[in-house]
Amino acid sequence: MPRKRLWVVLPVVVLLVVAVFVFWHGRRRTETVEAAPGPPAAQVAVVQRGNIDQVLTLAGQFQPYQMIDVHPKVSGFIRHIYVDIGDRVRQGETLAVLEVPELKAQLAGTVGEVARSQDLITRAQHDVTRAESTHAALKADYQRLLDTSKAQPGLVAQQELDDAQAKALSSAAEVDAAKAELSAAQKQLDVSRADNQRVSAMESYTDVTAPLDGVIVWRYADTGALIQSGVNSNSQDLPIVKLAQSGTMRLRLPVPEAYVRYVHLGDPVELRVDALGRSFQGKVVRFTRELNFETRTMETEIDVPNKDLTIDAGMYANAMMRLAHAENVMTVPVGALVLAGNQRTVYVLNADNRIEIRPVRVGIQGNQLAEIESGLQEGDRVILGGQGKYQQNEQVSPVVEKTPASETAPQSGGMIDMNAQESSQSGGA
């Protein structure tokens, strides 16, 4: 090959060799980078401040504040009845009037007895006056005879003096007797008046009135019906009406044993009545302080104002009672907590994204969030789940998950979903 041609080919070969070397070296660098992966990824949450509420949801049934059967105090025929079911009545309002003819006769008799007793008193007063006058005269006669006998002994016979003294003493006894008759007549007047008041009261019971404000929920008798008196508690006689005090309703809730310690008088309770599509506010007013042996629940009563009678007896309500509350506290998702023996811990990332395992003290715990009382600061990042894959001081690549800061955690003690029932019925049809 000529020397000139060789000098032309040699630079081309050198360039090809350099290009192959550069390509091979770059490929080796790429393979080296892929063979050395970075820190593992980890889902983390940020410690925030928020509120945690634990609430207990229970189902209950409304009952009137009071429910009474209205019986008359006397037996008789209903002359007129003024109310019917659904009527709203006020305390003292007349519900029905009874016809009791014998009471009228008894009342007239007691009135006459009172008048007779008053006449006896008048006569007894006159007898007392007459007896006192006679006694005064006889006593004066005896005194004159006695004075004369003392002034002139022997002038007045002793027999005459003894007779005058006896008459004076007898008249004094008659005065006492007259006064006793007067006292007896006055006592008889008191007896007659008491009897008159008794019969008058019985006669007033023929007007049957409402003992309290309420609603007539049932009527048992009509005009002309014979109604027996309700003085005997063992009597099976029907009342005239059934009256419900519905201006305030009672809601009885069976609180499970595990939550009894959270129930206190005056605690607010939020109620939802699906039948009305409305919510109401009530408060705990009383509870039995005793657990039912079979159900292990304690009956707790909520008073709910019902001035407009919107709530009817027998309606169901879902009640929400607050068990525990923490406000403006540090919260983390429950998934960030790890139980190590008896100690709760969390895996925290420092500024270099390295893991620090810290013990924490946990307060209220809901379904999703837990209160951290100590061990963390607001803004700290904690690993969510799978903590067993990581080690102390291990570096990770954080992936921040957006989590809520507050939670209302319901603890179900039994609810009634009216919509679900309706859906089930319509599906079955």
Residue where the block lists tokens 């023996």: 341
Q: What is the DSSP string of 89-120?
A: E-TT-EEEEEE-HHHHHHHHHHHHHHHHHHHH
Contact of 266 with 322, CB cutoff 8 Å: no
**Ramachandran class of 297: left when φ > 0, alpha when ψ lies in -120 to 50, beta otherwise:** beta
H or E segment to which residue 354 belongs: none
The pTM (predicted TM-score) of the whole model is: 0.60
Enumerate domains of the chain plus CATH numbers: 43-52+328-409 (2.40.420.20), 58-66+241-325 (2.40.30.170), 73-98+206-238 (2.40.50.100), 101-202 (1.10.287.620)
Q: Looking at residue 106, what is its pLDDT?
A: 82
Q: Looking at residue 25, what is its pLDDT?
A: 54
Q: Looking at residue 11, what is its pLDDT?
A: 55
Cα(298)–Cα(255) distance, integer angstroms: 5
Q: Mean pLDDT per segment of 10 residues, for the chain of length 429 residues?
A: 48 53 52 59 93 89 92 89 93 92 82 88 89 86 81 79 83 88 88 86 86 93 86 70 93 90 89 91 90 90 91 91 87 92 92 93 90 93 91 91 88 54 42
Q: Looking at residue 138, what is its pLDDT?
A: 84
**Ramachandran class of 414: left when φ > 0, alpha when ψ lies in -120 to 50, beta otherwise:** left
Cα(341)–Cα(38) distance, integer angstroms: 32
